[in-house]
Amino acid sequence: MAKDKVRRPRAETPKGFRDYFGAEVTARTEMLQAIGRVYRAWGFDALETSAVETVEALGKFLPDVDRPNEGVFAWQEHEDTDWLALRYDLTAPLARVFAQYRNDLPTPYRRYAMGPVWRNEKPGPGRFRQFYQCDADTVGAPSVAADAEICAMLASALEAVGIDRGDYLIRVNNRKVLNGVMEAAGVLDPADPSRFEAERGIVLRAIDKLDRLGEAGVRALLGQGREDESGDFTKGAGLAEEQAELVIGFTQARRDTAEATLARLRELVGTSATGAEGVDELETIAGLLAAQGLGDRALIDPSVVRGLGYYTGPVFEAELTFQTLDEKGRPRQFGSVAGGGRYDDLVKRFTGQAVPATGISIGVDRLLAALQARRAQAAAPAGPVVVTVMDRERMADYFAMAEELRAAGIRAEVYLGNPKNFGNQMKYADRRGSPVAVIEGGDEKARGVVQIKDLVLGAEIAKNASLEEWKDRPSQVEAPRDQLVAQVRAMLEGS
Amino acid sequence: MAKDKVRRPRAETPKGFRDYFGAEVTARTEMLQAIGRVYRAWGFDALETSAVETVEALGKFLPDVDRPNEGVFAWQEHEDTDWLALRYDLTAPLARVFAQYRNDLPTPYRRYAMGPVWRNEKPGPGRFRQFYQCDADTVGAPSVAADAEICAMLASALEAVGIDRGDYLIRVNNRKVLNGVMEAAGVLDPADPSRFEAERGIVLRAIDKLDRLGEAGVRALLGQGREDESGDFTKGAGLAEEQAELVIGFTQARRDTAEATLARLRELVGTSATGAEGVDELETIAGLLAAQGLGDRALIDPSVVRGLGYYTGPVFEAELTFQTLDEKGRPRQFGSVAGGGRYDDLVKRFTGQAVPATGISIGVDRLLAALQARRAQAAAPAGPVVVTVMDRERMADYFAMAEELRAAGIRAEVYLGNPKNFGNQMKYADRRGSPVAVIEGGDEKARGVVQIKDLVLGAEIAKNASLEEWKDRPSQVEAPRDQLVAQVRAMLEGS
């Protein structure tokens, strides 16, 4: 290989992945820490599984094709070793863990987990192949008290990260009620649950799109089907008009009070035993939430169904109700930032025995975006104080200044590039978002003083001031060396 | 497929991976948070790259074989897409990021990163295929002031997580000094650096094993080779006795003071220009560390070389100097918990231009083990207070009690299993490590009181008390309902 001809590697993030810098990382970390403290206070224990699972344990993506990688990143080392894959959520690993350690874990087992998950899907704007999830689940508790607890804890977590009361709603529904309505509509036969399974799937997905398609769109999907603006046709569930009426009635069953909503639901499920059970469960949950003072923030909303197929009972969703403006000044609604529900069959895959479970997953990136939009008016997080280098023989002096500032709780660093050109040091401080620069040349050293430059004020003056004002340089202050910390602090508090 | 014949998936962690539960997770998180706070205070910015990189960007494992997965987990989706891999450390992604964003990042760029890395290696006792790293690096600073800063910051980080002054040492050396000694010994020809490259590699690895093999073992490896206890023979560097003498002299060059050590090193490097430069750099670093008051915790130690080939200048290592006892009462030394150095060529792979860089990596698991061994005498972290369920119609009452305790900062939960058997509730509390259980049956409710059970004291009494003492049950207290929080707090503080 000729030395000069070696092709250099491209310095690129793989397609669909991204890097996170500085405040993007710390803001997320702080949010997750605040949520973790709430989960722990409620008796949930941390669990961290490895990113890698066997494809077999992950399930859903079983190796029925040559390369079982639909939706996941998967690989096989050798022909005789297991297919491995990156986890695509935090629920599948929880089911594996509970099945694996069930004799050693307390029952019920309350656990929380936070970390990245991976999806081998086509990336899109704002959609990446690696993103964070933050889940809390209770495994082994059949009572809907566990569902009510999850909803109350979710409210507590949202408030802990800075969403005020009145700015969010927890909406609760129950799949059993929906199944009761399907029974009443004749698309679910309790004696043969496999009949009409495809139709029910279409109904479920149609209701889940109510927000986006409106009542007319959902009606079309419940009937013969719907053609969208691009001309694409989606086949409908084929329900007759009276059947569709029942389903639409279900999504619109919300009334002003929980009592009235529950009464309406009882009408809709008719004689279905499953439906009645579902309404009873909703009543219990509503009662528990009201008793905990959440009556104003949690409500029964039959239009919430959640898209996932595996829910078997209560389902819930947290919605942010405030509006912010996007970069272009357009109103922006954040909508759902968390969702979950009861799923009683995931552990059964491993053990053959049904294990009741319920849980919530917080959409980390969406919640973070909402928080940041709210705080957009607040000052951007400041960079460190930069101690400039005027005399490269006196690095120890500059290090000592930075250490004094840090000991006083002020983020600080010494300039470590080539100090020759002072302009470069100022450009560096600018790029770092530094609020203050400290300068001590030979003259200052001899006189026992330091120059302290207010870079925030300086930038404002540079933008707005006349040449005269600029010359006065009121943004720079000379202070005795032993007043360094006090003077920097005063400047930081002033800015 | 007959329903009953479907083979169930195995509930197993993949080979070489493990799950982390409860305090294992939170102790690590807290340690990393404390280190992150120090890094940020020193002006380092967080960076989080994705777990997945192109194999090409990771380097070292270039696809020269059919499946380029030696040491890494790698896969290729389609024949015409990039090979992807899980990162094996945090330095390779940093080099990629700096090359990719160098026009937007400040120079020097100080960054820290913490997160899991993956190695496709044979797992062993305590060695897993996924583990945490915690790095801080300065890219674009040629001055050894950057190396001194990293060493001082490392000391600060160790103290922040609870390692006291006097319990650790930062050892510093310089690869240029070693190269100077090699020149003096005639195994490095500045005019043709590729000569004797293999021999120098053997010398490097031999010195790195000084701790384990002792002087005699290293001498054997410097000469003809060494046969270990199992009879395996490792080929030596083939140095003559005078040559080996110089190298051994280098590893033993440490004297009582930095001045004396530096003087001894100057003798050993003779007329080598590289060697003299290395000694000068060490002198500067030692001066800066002494000026920062680290003279007692940082020292020049020529026996530190670090195994990795890519270091080009200063190298450093943090060693814990205290001893603890392992589970069997045997003394246990923790040794090195962090290491790093200057590597000036990693970014060059991408850009063709050398970019100076220096950094440190903390061995997260080893440091955590050391901290836990130190704190082993302290009480185990307590589980939540458990509010038991005596009457399943009054879940709202029990939820209210748990919420009162949480509002007072006490971790608490309601029992959510089947409440029928009270013994099971107590077994659950035991498994959770609960310090206190709260009981409110119909009788207590009617009288406006609650029973509060001290489970820590109860366990002690059960172990040691006579039947008489046991009957007195002093570990259970009755309190008015409105004294619940005060009484639980008193019990927690007493235990």
Facing residues of B363 across strands?
Answer: B133
Domain extents for chain B? 23-51+87-374, 385-494
Task: State the Cα–Cα distance between residues A447 and B308, nearest whole angstrom.
Answer: 48
Residues 6+ apart with CB under 8 A from A423: none
pLDDT digits 0-9 by tens, A381-408? 579 999 999 998 999 999 999 999 999 9
Interface of B with A in 190-219 (CB under 8 A): none
Q: So what's the pLDDT on residue A63?
A: 36
More confident residue, B270 or B111: B111
> Cβ of A288 and B129 within 8 Å?
no
pLDDT digits 0-9 by tens, B298-324? 999 998 888 766 789 999 999 999 887
Q: Is the pLDDT score of B10 beyond 90?
A: yes
Minimum-distance CB partner of A46 among B25, B141, B145:
B25
Q: So what's the pLDDT on residue B456?
A: 84
Q: Could you tell me if A257 lies within 8 Å of chain B, comparing CB atoms?
A: no
Distance from CA of B230 to the nearest CA of A (A): 31
**Mean pLDDT score of chain B, rounded to an integer?**
89
pLDDT digits 0-9 by tens, A59-94? 764 333 444 457 899 998 888 888 999 999 999 999
pLDDT classification of A450: cutoffs 50, 70, 90? very high
Closest CA to A141 of A133, A150, A132: A150
What CATH number labels A385-494?
3.40.50.800
Q: Which of A191-195, A333-337, B69-73, B214-218 has the lowest mean pLDDT?
A: B69-73
In sign, the C-alpha dihedral spanning B422, B428, B434, B435 is: positive
**Average pLDDT of span B255-268:** 94
Q: Is the pLDDT score of B63 beyond 50?
A: no
**Average pLDDT of span A104-121:** 94
Q: Is the pLDDT score of A18 beyond 80?
A: yes
Q: Which of A63-77, A292-306, B271-285 has the lowest mean pLDDT?
A: A63-77
pLDDT classification of B88: cutoffs 50, 70, 90? very high
ipTM of model: 0.88
> Cβ of B14 and A50 within 8 Å?
yes
Superfamily, domain A23-51+87-374 = Bira Bifunctional Protein; Domain 2 (3.30.930.10)
A106, A138 Cβ separation under 8 angstroms: no
Percent of chain A with pLDDT over 90: 65
More confident residue, B61 or A480: A480
Q: Could you tell me if A353 lies within 8 Å of chain B, comparing CB atoms?
A: no
Minimum-distance CB partner of A291 among B77, B396, B412:
B396
pLDDT digits 0-9 by tens, B424-439? 999 999 888 899 999 9
**Average pLDDT of span B454-481:** 75
B239: amino acid identity, one letter: L
pLDDT digits 0-9 by tens, A227-246? 888 888 989 999 999 999 99
pLDDT classification of A2: cutoffs 50, 70, 90? very low
Cβ-based neighbour number of residue A337 at 10 Å: 23
β A168-174/A385-387 pair status: unpaired
B108: nearest CA in chain A? A417
Q: So what's the pLDDT on residue B162?
A: 92
Interface of A with B in 94-153 (CB under 8 A): 96-97, 99-101, 106-108, 110, 116, 118, 120, 129-130, 138, 140-143, 145-146, 148-149, 152
Q: So what's the pLDDT on residue A468?
A: 61
Q: Could you tell me if B423 lies within 8 Å of chain A, comparing CB atoms?
A: no
Q: Is the pLDDT score of A5 beyond 80?
A: no
A25: nearest CA in chain B? B46
Q: Could you tell me if A391 lies within 8 Å of chain B, comparing CB atoms?
A: no
- C-alpha distances in Å from residue A466, one per residue of A459, B63, B94: 13, 61, 43
pLDDT digits 0-9 by tens, B141-155? 999 999 999 999 999
Q: Which of A34-43, A238-247, B78-87, B366-375 has the lowest mean pLDDT?
A: B366-375
Minimum-distance CB partner of B11 among A75, A86, A96:
A96
Assign residue B167 a region (left: φ > 0; alpha: ψ between -120 and 50; beta: otherwise): alpha
